[in-house]
């Protein structure tokens, strides 16, 4: 009886993993067909990155005024990551 429950847990886990991975696989196909669509999407994406950097910077200013150095550092790392993505995708 115990071995049967253990076996069913393993089978359930494997099946769940397969179903989840298939769902991610099927939804990852891009619907962008042309270079113009690609450029338009990338331009919008880059604007969103800049907006996120601005929001994080403003949060940093507030957290510095409140002496919340932990939040200041978190936002700094977030800005660093966003800047890295921006430099790789958005500079032409």
Summarised one tens digit per residue, pLDDT across range 13-48 is: 665 656 555 555 555 566 888 889 988 989 999 999
**Domain boundaries, given as residue ranges, for the chain:** 1-30, 35-92
Distance CA(48)–CA(17), nearest Å, equals 32
Percent of the chain with pLDDT over 70: 66
* pLDDT for res 52: 94
- Exposure of 72 by Cβ count < 10 A (0-12 exposed, 13-18 middle, 19+ buried)? middle
Q: Global pTM?
A: 0.64
CA 80, CA 68: separation in Å to the nearest integer?
Answer: 19
CA separation for the pair 74, 82 (Å, rounded): 12
């Amino acid at each position: 009886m115990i071995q049967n429950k253990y076996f069913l847990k393993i089978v359930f886990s494997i099946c769940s993993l397969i179903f989840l991975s298939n769902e991610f696989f099927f939804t990852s196909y891009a619907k962008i067909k042309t270079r113009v669509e690609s450029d338009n999407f990338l331009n919008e994406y880059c604007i969103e990155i800049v907006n996120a950097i601005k929001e994080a910077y403003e949060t940093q200013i507030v957290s510095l005024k409140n002496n919340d150095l932990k939040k200041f550092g978190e936002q700094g790392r977030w800005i660093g990551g966003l800047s890295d993505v921006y430099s790789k995708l958005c500079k032409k």
